[in-house]
Amino acid sequence: MYSERVMEHFRNPRNVGEIEDASGVGEIGNPVCGDMMTFYVKIENGILADVKFKTFGCGAAIAVSSMVSEMARGKTIEEAMKISNADVAKELGGLPPNKMHCSNLGADALHKAIENYLAKQSGAEKKDCRCPYCETPVEGGAICAPCKTSGHQ
């Protein structure tokens, strides 16, 4: 059973879409449940001025993405990096035990987007491709052996 807050964010998700000139992008997926989340951040003067997401998954995954985007917008990089799966679940009024992994995905995708931004700023942006499901390094967009998907992250 989902809380009313989860249902509200599922029915009316906030900040859906992508930021064309994003400062950072983070993508994560879970092959077990099939959820895929991509977060886009626009960072100005150390503040997350805009946060958007695209999620393919269950209602809990969509609600989590919406809540994470709301929680992160307007925060400093340091504050946004402290958003945890427990924080997300609490803000949503709880999640069923079998859906708690969704809150991990949302916070992780946000953190990956921020890490992508920080890597770009330091000139150390990752050049390798990774499987979007299991994070296995995949050479030049080749097929991931464990998951049989192409690496494009």
pLDDT in tens, 137-152: 665 545 555 565 544 4
Residues 90 and 152 in one domain: no
**Half-sphere exposure (CA, 13 Å, Cβ side) for 149?**
17
- Assess contact for 68 and 83: CB atoms under 8 A: yes
- Answer yes or no: 102 catalytic: yes
- Tell me what pLDDT residue 105 has: 87
> What is the number of domains present in the chain?
2
Of the candidates 58, 102, 144, 147, the residue annotated as catalytic is 102
- Answer yes or no: 134 catalytic: no
pLDDT one-digit tens code per residue, 101-116 = 776 789 999 999 999 9
Residues 118 and 132 in one domain: no
- Tell me what pLDDT residue 99 has: 79
Residues 52 and 103 in one domain: yes
Residues 102 and 131 in one domain: no
CA distances from 145 to 107, 133, 151, 152 (A): 27, 12, 10, 14
Residues 142 and 117 in one domain: no
**pLDDT tier for residue 75 given thresholds of 50, 70 and 90:** very high
Minimum mean pLDDT among 75-79, 127-131, 142-146: which range?
142-146
Cite the beta strand spans of the chain per DSSP E. 24-30, 35-44, 47-56, 129-130, 137-138
Domain of 26, in residue numbers: 4-122
Residues 113 and 143 in one domain: no
Residues 76 and 137 in one domain: no
The alpha carbon of 113 is separated from its chain's Cα centroid by a whole number of angstroms, namely 7
- Tell me what pLDDT residue 125 has: 57
pTM, 2 dp: 0.78
- Tell me what pLDDT residue 17 has: 97
- Tell me what pLDDT residue 153 has: 44
Of the candidates 33, 58, 134, 147, the residue annotated as catalytic is 33
